[in-house]
Amino acid sequence: MATNRRQFLQSSALGAGTLAITPSFDHLLAAKRQNEDPHRFIFIRKSNGNLPKTFSLSTFSDEQKKKDQNKEAFEADLDKHELPGWLRVLDGHKENMTILHGISMAVSGGGHYSFSGCMGAYKAGRNVISGIKRTTVDFELARLFPSPFGHVELSLASGSGTVAFRTGIVSGFSAPAEHQRNFCYADPQTAYDELFKSVTNSSAVDSDNTLLDYLREQEGRRLKGLDGEERRKVSNHVDSIRSIRERNEKVASLSRVISMNLPTLDPIHTNGGPNASLIEKQDAFTDVMLAALISGLTNVVTYTIDDLGTPITTLPGNSGRVDLHRLGHSTDIELRGIVKASHMAQVAKIVTKLKSIPEGNGSMFDNTTIIYFPETGGGHHGPDTEAPMVVMTGKKSKLDIAGRYIRLPFHATAGHKTLSNWFTTLLNAYGNPIEHYGDLDLEMSRKKMQQTGAIEQFMA
C-alpha cells in the first residue's frame, strides 16, 4: 500500500521502528575521506534466476567448454570472446565486465522470492520483520561512503489486483538493521519528487521540516518520566526525527548541483505512470538513479528491476506471449534473452553516462561497481547452488576481476565460494574488515569445509 510523504514521515517517525525512513543516521554528517572520491555501488536484482547456460560463451575453446559444462573452475579473457546476444549492448565495455559464475546462493535460498535474504545472505522467509536477520550488504556499504540519503532503494515491481505496477513509497527488500525493513520508491515520479524536492518543491521541504520539528518536540516531551525499554524506543524516535531534519538541511546545501543534474521525466509518469510501458519506466528510473548519484545524494542504490509479477507485455519482442512467472516455467530462452537485454540496456546507459562525468583524474565510473544478479539463483525455483551474475567495475575498483569470465569451483566442492564470501569480499575491499558476513552454507558445514572470509583471488 502506497502512502504520501506527510503520512510516511509521521508514521515512520512515531511507529515501532520497523520501516526505515533513512539508513543508519549516525553517519549523515560524517566527513568525506581525505583525497578520496566515494565509491558507488548499484545492485540490480532480477527475478526468475539466471539460467547458467545463457552465460556461457559460444567462442570457448573445446577445453573451456568442457570445464564450463562440468562446472569446473577456470578463467577466460572476455576480449578474446563473443558475448551472448543479450549482453552485446555492453560490447564496448568488456574491459570493465566480469561474468561471474560459481557463486552459490544456498545461504539465502531459491524459490519464487528471496526477499531481503539475497542482500543479507540469510533465509528471510516471507520477509516478515522477525525474518530480517541482519543489516543488508548495501546498507553496510552505504555506511562506508556516507551521503545525505545514505542508501536509495528503487523497485519496478508488480502491483496488486488490477494495478500493473506498485506506486508511491512502499516497503522494500533491503534492511538498515536487524528486524527493520527499508522503504523504497515504487515509481519514477515518486522517486523524482522525493529525491529532488529541495529544488522542485521547496515548500514541501519547509512543510516537512515544520512537521518534523513538531514531532520532535512532542516526542521529547514523552521522554520525561519514561525509563527502560520505553525510553529507549522514544529516544530512538527523537534521534530519527532529528536525523531526517539534518538530512533535509544537507540536501538543501546541494540544491545547486541537483539543479544542474535534474532529470526530465516524461509527463506519462505523472500519478504513478499507469500508462507508461516497461521500457519507459526502466528508462525513467535509470535517469533518476543517475541524477541522484551524480548530485551526490547517494552512493549506493539497490534496484529491483523486476519481480515475477512485473508486466512484460509491452516489452518489444514479447508480443504478449507470457508473463514473467510463466516464463520461469517455460523453456523460452529467446524471451529470457529479451528480458535480460532490456536490463542490460539500462546497465549500458548507466556505464556510458558515468564515464562521461569527470571525477578526479578520470570519470565517475572509475569509482563505480554495478552488480546484476538473480535473487533466487540459477532459475525460477533455483537451483540455489549457482547464481551467475554480471559485474561492471571501474578503473579504481579494489577488486581484481575486470575483463574476465570467471568460473569458481561448484557448490560444496573444494574452493567453492558462497554469496556470504562474495559480500565479505565487497566489504573487506572497501573498508569493513569483518571476518565473515552472512550465514554459513549448511551442506559445506556438514562436510566440514572451510567457507569463511573474503575471496582472496578477487582482492586487488
Model confidence over 436-445: pLDDT tens digits? 999 999 999 9
What pLDDT score does 28 carry?
A: 33
Question: Is the pLDDT at 222 greater than 80, yes or no?
Answer: no
Largest CA distance in the chain: 76
Report which secondary-structure segment, H or E, holds 217: helix 202-223
Q: Tell which residue, 142, 103, 135, has the closest CA to residue 119.
A: 135
What pLDDT score does 98 carry?
A: 98
For 327-421, strand residue ranges (E) read 358-359, 362-363, 368-374, 389-393, 404-407
- Averaged over 256-263, what is the pLDDT? 92
Question: Is the pLDDT at 223 greater than 50, yes or no?
Answer: yes
Q: Which residue has the higher pLDDT, 3 or 167?
A: 167
- pLDDT confidence band for 226 (50 / 70 / 90): low
- Averaged over 342-350, what is the pLDDT? 98
Instruction: Give CA–CA dist 281/255, Å, rounded.
Output: 25
253's CB contacts (< 8 A; 6+ apart) are none
Q: What angle do CA 6, 208, 13 make, to 5 degrees?
A: 60
- Averaged over 326-330, what is the pLDDT? 82
What pLDDT score does 22 carry?
A: 41
What pLDDT score does 293 carry?
A: 97
- pLDDT confidence band for 9 (50 / 70 / 90): very low
Question: Is the pLDDT at 241 greater than 60, yes or no?
Answer: no
| CATH number assigned to the domain comprising residue 90 | 3.40.720
- pLDDT confidence band for 235 (50 / 70 / 90): low
Measured CA to CA in angstroms, residue 22 lies from 13, 100, 151, 306, 400 at distances of 11, 31, 7, 23, 32
What pLDDT score does 35 carry?
A: 57
Percent of the residues in the chain that have a pLDDT greater than 70, as a whole number: 81
Question: Is the pLDDT at 242 greater than 80, yes or no?
Answer: no
Question: Is the pLDDT at 58 greater than 70, yes or no?
Answer: yes
What pLDDT score does 3 carry?
A: 54
Lowest mean pLDDT among 4-8, 332-336, 423-427: 4-8
pTM: 0.88
- Averaged over 51-58, what is the pLDDT? 95
How many distinct structural domains can be found in the chain?
Answer: 1
Task: Supply the mean pLDDT for the chain.
Answer: 85
What DSSP string runs through 292-310? Answer: HHHTTS-SEEEEE---TT-
Percent of the residues in the chain that have a pLDDT greater than 90, as a whole number: 62
| Type of residue numbered 217 | E
Do 115 and 106 meet the contact criterion of CB atoms below 8 Å apart? no
- pLDDT confidence band for 205 (50 / 70 / 90): low
- pLDDT confidence band for 25 (50 / 70 / 90): very low
User: Which domain range does residue 355 map to?
Assistant: 5-458
- Averaged over 176-184, what is the pLDDT? 89
Lowest mean pLDDT among 11-20, 36-45, 272-281, 312-321: 11-20
Question: Is the pLDDT at 210 greater than 80, yes or no?
Answer: no
Q: Which three cell numbers stand for residue 412?
A: 560444496
